[in-house]
Chain A
Amino acid sequence: MEEWLYIQTEVYPALLKGFWVSLELILPSAICGLVIGILVGVLRVYGSRPVMAAANAYVALFRGIPLVVQLFIWYFGLPYIGIYLSPFTAAVLGFALCSGAYHSEYIRGALLSIKRGQMLAAQSLGFHKVQMIFSIILPQAIRLALPGCGNEIIYLIKYSSLAYMITCIELTGQGKILASNSFKYTEVFLMIGACYLVMTSVAALILGRLEDRLRLPGFEHHRI
């Protein structure tokens, strides 16, 4: 009885609060990350030489350095040069920039795998470069890149837990506080784990649906 009361009055509200913070972290990060990824991916394939080099450097840096280190740089490091970010802002900035770098890899791969004939045909119809990229190339590339980008979003859901390490109290942080107060580490972290499992599974389901919705003959992916 006492247990139940504890769950109702302490655990449930705390987890719910943490869950909302997690969602608030994940959604903008995912959207910004995708936008960055698409832009950078396009620049890495169709940009001028210096632009291409800059984009490649960005990706190498943000994929090569652990996300924890990046978050620490944004939150604990920037004050060194007089820039102060809230934990939440630093987390979203870190997530978006990092996942953007990963997304761009898939976008780039997809763009490169589109046959030259597609572009020749568009050019022969009088498309200019930007038109061609947006109305012929990207619609094909996004379908090819979707499984990879989808995976990236699932990674993002899991990595959002790292916001706890720069003191942004989301789901994992709430769990840590609850567990330290009650000493019920196993139970609490199993519950937290279950929350993440639900989030990642639901995301996988939605992404699978989206893939089905966008499916065209010839663009199938063989899921293994």
Chain B
Amino acid sequence: MPGSLIAIGDALPYLLRGSLVTLIVVIGAMGLGLVLGVPLAVGQVYGHPALRRVIAVYVWFFRGIPLLVLLFLFYFGLCTALDINLSAFAVAIVVLGLISSAYQSQIFRGAILSLPEGQFKAARALGMSDLKAISVIILPQAIRLSVPGWSNEYSILLKDSAVTYALGVAEIMARAHFVATRTYQQLPLYFAAGVIFLILTWVGTKGLRLLEEKVRIPGYSTHGL
């Protein structure tokens, strides 16, 4: 037993540097997913039928194919075929971000659809254009309603980021495996990796809960959606 504790202790700084990589991947993917997800949601709710169809196919594609397959497809396939020189790290962020944009767009879409129709009507009655009504009235409310879904998305991305180990991204899992195969302390090291993920999930969801409190509007429930 002490042997395993020593192994974990020795590897800890190395693993913690991996959690920095993990966090950058997750935050990058979440940001990309947000930037793409909001316009996708708006397009899917208010867009031309042809546009809605296209977005629906996009969402279906990125939600229907496993992350691992998409990572392989982009890293070994598309990057080579299109002669794009991206590191495994960058591909990990892009692929996770694209997948997340599909999921986030559905979170926002649900939030937009859950707003009472009267909000849009009242904005129009004041003389707002549709674009203005969406940006000033609809989105600020929809984004607040989306925070719980967002916090869920964070913990999913955090766990999914461990899969990028398959491309050799030096995140927590890759480092745990690297040490484990050299020290033969597999169980303790994978366990340590698991605990680090648990802590990151806990810290992140706590942080997002605080954000939720901060953007909360009195009497405006974001639960039970």
A–B: direct contact at CB < 8 Å: yes
Q: A33 in the interface, Cβ–Cβ < 8 Å?
A: no
Alpha-carbon separation in the docked complex, A192 to B158 (Å): 25
Given the complex, which residues of A lie within 8 Å of B70, measured CB to CB?
193
CB-nearest residue of chain B to A173: B68
Q: Are B173 and A76 closer than 8 Å at their CB atoms?
A: no
Given the complex, which residues of A lie within 8 Å of B77, measured CB to CB?
179, 185-190
With A185-B73, A186-B77 already in contact, the answer to whether A69 and B197 are too (CB < 8 A) is yes
Interface string of B195-212 (1 = CB under 8 A from A): 001100110000000000
Taking residues whose C-beta sits less than 8 angstroms from the other chain, chain B's interface range is 35 or more
Q: A114 in the interface, Cβ–Cβ < 8 Å?
A: no
Interface string of A152-190 (1 = CB under 8 A from B): 000000111110110000001001100100000111111
With A162-B163, A192-B69, A197-B61 already in contact, the answer to whether A66 and B185 are too (CB < 8 A) is no
Q: Are B194 and A69 closer than 8 Å at their CB atoms?
A: yes
Q: Are A66 and B173 closer than 8 Å at their CB atoms?
A: yes
Q: B8 in the interface, Cβ–Cβ < 8 Å?
A: no
Q: Are B64 and A197 closer than 8 Å at their CB atoms?
A: yes
Alpha-carbon separation in the docked complex, A49 to B129 (Å): 57
CB-nearest residue of chain B to A160: B66
With most chain B CB atoms within 10 A of its CB, the pick from A76, A179, A201 is: A76
Given the complex, which residues of B lie within 8 Å of A189, measured CB to CB?
69, 72-73, 76-77
Q: Are B173 and A224 closer than 8 Å at their CB atoms?
A: no
Cβ-neighbour of B66 out of A70, A161, A187 (below 8 A): A161
Give, as a whole number of angstroms, the nearest-CB distance from B60 to chain A. 7
Q: Are A69 and B173 closer than 8 Å at their CB atoms?
A: yes
Alpha-carbon separation in the docked complex, A61 to B195 (Å): 9
Given the complex, which residues of A lie within 8 Å of B80, measured CB to CB?
185-186
Q: Are B186 and A172 closer than 8 Å at their CB atoms?
A: no
Q: B6 in the interface, Cβ–Cβ < 8 Å?
A: no
Interface residues of A in 106-158 (CB under 8 A from B): 158
Q: A28 in the interface, Cβ–Cβ < 8 Å?
A: no
Interface string of B84-108 (1 = CB under 8 A from A): 0000000000000000000000000
CB-nearest residue of chain B to A151: B63
Cβ-neighbour of B64 out of A68, A73, A201 (below 8 A): A201
The main secondary structure of chain B at its interface with chain A is: helix
Given the complex, which residues of B lie within 8 Å of A164, measured CB to CB?
68
Q: B193 in the interface, Cβ–Cβ < 8 Å?
A: yes
Alpha-carbon separation in the docked complex, A12 to B54 (Å): 30
Q: B125 in the interface, Cβ–Cβ < 8 Å?
A: no
Alpha-carbon separation in the docked complex, A67 to B114 (Å): 33
Given the complex, which residues of A lie within 8 Å of B144, measured CB to CB?
none
With A69-B173, A73-B194 already in contact, the answer to whether A172 and B68 are too (CB < 8 A) is yes
Alpha-carbon separation in the docked complex, A79 to B72 (Å): 29
3 A-B pairs with the lowest CB-CB distances in the bound complex, closest first: A186-B77, A189-B73, A185-B77
Given A189-B73, A200-B64, 20 other A-B residues pairs in contact with their CB atoms under 8 A = A64-B201, A65-B197, A67-B159, A68-B165, A69-B193, A72-B186, A72-B190, A73-B190, A80-B187, A158-B64, A164-B68, A172-B66, A185-B81, A190-B77, A193-B70, A196-B65, A197-B64, A197-B65, A201-B60, A224-B109
Interface residues of B in 128-185 (CB under 8 A from A): 155, 158-163, 165-166, 173, 176-177, 180, 184-185
Q: A78 in the interface, Cβ–Cβ < 8 Å?
A: yes
Give, as a whole number of angstroms, the nearest-CB distance from B205 to chain A. 10
Q: B28 in the interface, Cβ–Cβ < 8 Å?
A: no
CB-nearest residue of chain B to A201: B64
CB-nearest residue of chain A to B63: A200
